[in-house]
Amino acid sequence: MKVLIVGGGGREHALAWAIARSEKVSKVYVAPGNGGTATMGSCVENVALGSTDVDGLLQFAVSESVDLTVVGPEQPLEAGIVDLFAEAGKKVFGPTKSAAQLETSKVFAKDFMSRHEIPTASYEVFRDYDSAKDFLEKTTVFPQVIKASGLAAGKGVVVAETRADALQAIDDLFEKRVFGGAADEVVIESFLAGQEASVFAITDGTQYRFFLPSQDHKRIGEGDTGKNTGGMGAYAPAPLVSEEVMKKVEERVIVPTLEGMREEGMPYTGFLYIGLMIDNGEPSVVEYNARLGDPEAQVVLPLMQTELVEALEASLDGNLGEIAFEMKPLSATTVVLASEGYPGSYEKGKVIEIDPKLQEHDSVMVFHAGTVLEGGMLKTSGGRVLSVTALAPTLGESIALAYSALSGVAFDGSYYRRDIGAKALA
């Protein structure tokens, strides 16, 4: 079978890696892909189409007789790619445009959770600077969490420790328009104490199966300091998410979410990401994502024992509950190498050197994100450049192996956090 993967980040490289391993798959196209997917061999091919060029992607899928399309990032979901492909009779994995509102509109998501009594922080919605300012000036409890409602590449959230920080945040969103139309609506919500964790499910709208829970590291600096990023590393399974916590997540979040979406006429199919805050064993929803996380995909996919393609097909056929959905009895850690200056401005075009021995190590994978292949040379093209993933019997061993493998990757000005997974070990 032929598979088209939409997207060009580390998540999409991990999806290509997982899907290409199946004997069922003869060809994997990645649109637009990156330098890593360009060097995976003849069975994987980059396609020069942007991930939001939904019409062009459909034309390509038809002309190349693609059997299955897997949507990686959120932007094409918001653009309605799943609806378009489905109308044309092409198999596509992901939620519809209306169902993807769980991620593409934080206002929709918060109102949805309120309607269906799903645990989350209390919140207010604002559509102009003056009303938000008036609310914050009357607020006595800080921190407050301020979120652009629309898509902002994971950077549209500010944890405002003081009133001054909060007022600056709404000025940036409403007045300076740092995220443009994504901040036409702004959510201000109470701060949730605890530790964050990520739970991922694959669902056909009714049935669902869980990947291993993971923990992302959002901040640029060690000790979770500095600005938010798209993610600087992750590990799985996360011991914070015990069996007891997972049962609560299933009963209080997953089941009412899927039931609620069906009741409201937008059954949710695809990957579902639940961003959680866990405090003393009690989970609350921080956010939904309508796809796999990045860099979490780089740890949860390598831990799959069951072939990903088998699970995707079963989900689309409504047989998800009938297949084995097994995980390896291992731990995984991934560490992101970023360009100097990220998440602010940074230079591109730095030559990347990767030790060929890393490709021969069964327990180490290098997943590319912001890379490009030019003249046979790998060069940086983004803020998060690549991530190094390692598998091992224990979390401590996987952390040690990932950091050891980092010595085999180099480019000028590279930066990475040195404390990925430290919270779990502590």
Question: Do 232 and 283 share a structural domain?
Answer: yes
371 shares its domain with 282: no
Give tens-digit pLDDT for 338-383. Answer: 999 999 999 999 999 999 989 888 899 999 999 999 999 999 999 9
pTM summary value: 0.95
Question: Any idea what the CATH number is for the domain that residue 304 is in?
Answer: 3.30.470.20
* 71: CATH: 3.40.50.20
Domain harbouring 138, CATH code: 3.30.1490.20
Same-domain check for residues 183 and 203: no
Q: Quick one: average pLDDT of 7-15?
A: 98
Tell me what pLDDT residue 227 has: 87
Tell me whether residue 21 is in a domain.
yes
**Pair 209, 315 in one domain:** yes
- Same structural domain, 208 and 318: yes
Alpha-carbon span 371 to 40, nearest angstrom:
14
* Whether 307 and 253 share a structural domain: yes
Tell me: do 362 and 264 sit in the same domain: no
**How many domains does the chain contain in total?**
4
What percent of the chain has a predicted confidence (pLDDT) above 70?
A: 100
Q: Given a cut of 90, is residue 426 above it in pLDDT?
A: no
Q: Is residue 301 part of a domain?
A: yes
- Give the pLDDT band of residue 137 (cuts 50, 70, 90): very high
Q: Do 318 and 360 fall into the same domain?
A: no
Domain housing 136: 122-190
Of the residues 301, 322, 343, the one at which a domain ends: 322
pLDDT of residue 246: 97
Confirm whether 272 is domain-assigned. Answer: yes
Asked whether residue 185 is domain-assigned, the answer is: yes
- Is 67 in the same domain as 169? no
Confidence category of residue 202, pLDDT binned at 50, 70, 90: very high
Do residues 211 and 309 share a domain? yes
Q: Which of 254, 144, 140, 249 is nearest to 192 (CA)?
A: 144
Based on the domain organization, do 343 and 257 belong to the same domain?
Answer: no
Render pLDDT for 145-189 as a digit per residue (tens, 0 to 9). 999 999 987 778 999 999 999 999 999 999 999 999 999 999 999
Q: What is the mean pLDDT of the chain?
A: 96
